[in-house]
Amino acid sequence: MRLFHPARLLILLAASILAVACNGATETPAPLLPSSPAPLPPSSTAPLRPSSTALLPPLSPTAPLLPSSTAIPCDSTTGYCIQAGHFLLERPIALPGTITIDPTYPYGSTQNGTRQPHHGVEFYDASGTPVLAAADGFVIVAGDDKTTNFSPWPNFYGNLIVLEHHLPGISQPLFTLYGHLSKIEAQTGQNVRAGEEIGEVGASGSATGSHLHFEVRLGENDYDSNRNPVLWLKPLSGEDGNPFGLIVGRFVDDQGNPLYYPSLNIQYFPDRSGPQAAAYAVETYAPEKQPVRADDQWQENFALGDLPAGQYRISFIWENVLYERWIEAQPGKVTLVTFIIK
Ligand SMILES: [Zn+2]
């Protein structure tokens, strides 16, 4: 059964173009939309309409501070934009440890409202796994947070290390934070090189099990200066040796205010006419008391990294209307996509 008639698609496309005009977007020309075939029917697991709406502050109109995008004309509100990333950090864990980011509690997630919006990402590794400096830098914190807080709560990170980095092309200092360590092997004031062992994974502080909490802060070593580590870590590579890509998205109302959506449906198709190879349920950054921060350049409120190159279908239902967009991920690149919800 084809639930998504081509005529309906044309109406939606026309509405999208109108929406761009109404918002005064000046980005032209619009990209070519991915060519036919007709979109797949919505999945039976399409998410329900979310119960809450925007509480996050409006998007900043300020100019990007970070490296600019490639000069490809594009319009992320009707299609997508392929841009260069600022992948300047190495993984803080090496093989044979788990070097992939835990997908169940990603940056900005509340894990279905049960936890604080996550200011970092988790690497689930055994206690004692070496923790490595993500870039050249120097140690500004090597201790615990029993008496000095690095979050609103004491003994939150447990044994932690904070490194300060001055990275090429980035005008502000960038900080990486390594939490819940079982062992600290660096001293305050010490210079470190990327990949140098600085401690070991543990479960100190507020941790339910052994893992590395990895956090990125830009400008200030401050709990509210966090950024999504996925936007900074060099992507892993696939079996073909090519680096993976990254999808960065804005899910906003027509005033540009971020909206919350608990489970965007993102499906991967190596070949658009072939079967789905993977599916992801992506939560937008949660609108809670301690909201996480968006990238200065992208102003995103969702992101999904380490994606093999290919076609991706993003779909969701909002007020009984199915939205969907086909986009592409390219090796080592950022795909920017914007959904403006009326
Ligand atoms: Zn964490």
- Where residue 259 sits, what CATH number does that domain have? 2.60.40.10
Domain that holds residue 222: 121-231
Residues 268 and 211 in one domain: no
Per-residue DSSP letter, 250: E
Around 154, how many Cα atoms within 13 Å sit in the side-chain half-sphere?
3
Tokens 């075939």 -> residue: 37
Tokens 């990327």 -> residue: 194
Tokens 């803080």 -> residue: 92
Give pLDDT tens digits for 52-61: 333 333 333 3
Residue 129: count other Cβ atoms within 10 Å of its Cβ: 22
Q: Ligand 1 centroid vs 105 CA: distance in angstroms?
A: 8
Distance of CA 313 to the CA centre of its chain: 17
Q: Tell me, yes or no, if the pTM score tops 0.85.
A: no
Residues 207 and 263 in one domain: no
CA gyration radius, the chain:
20
- Burial letters for 13-39: b for 16+ Cβ neighbours within 10 Å, e otherwise? eeebeebbeeeebeeeebbeebeeeeb
Residues 279 and 218 in one domain: no
Q: Ligand 1 centroid vs 342 CA: distance in angstroms?
A: 34
Ligand 1 is an ion; residues with CB less than 5 A from it: 120, 122, 213
* pLDDT tens-digit profile, the chain (342 residues): 343 444 443 333 333 333 332 232 333 333 333 333 333 333 333 333 333 333 333 333 333 333 334 445 688 888 999 999 999 999 999 999 999 999 999 999 988 788 888 999 999 999 999 999 999 999 999 999 998 888 888 899 999 999 999 999 999 999 999 999 999 999 999 999 999 999 999 999 998 899 999 999 999 999 999 999 999 999 999 999 999 999 999 999 999 999 999 999 999 999 889 999 999 999 999 886 667 999 999 999 999 999 999 999 999 999 999 999 999 999 999 999 999 998
Report which residue type is found at 329: A
Strand boundaries in 53-196, DSSP class E: 81-83, 121-123, 130-132, 137-144, 159-165, 174-181, 183-184, 191-192
Q: Ligand 1 centroid vs 338 CA: distance in angstroms?
A: 27
CATH number of residue 132's parent domain? 2.70.70.10
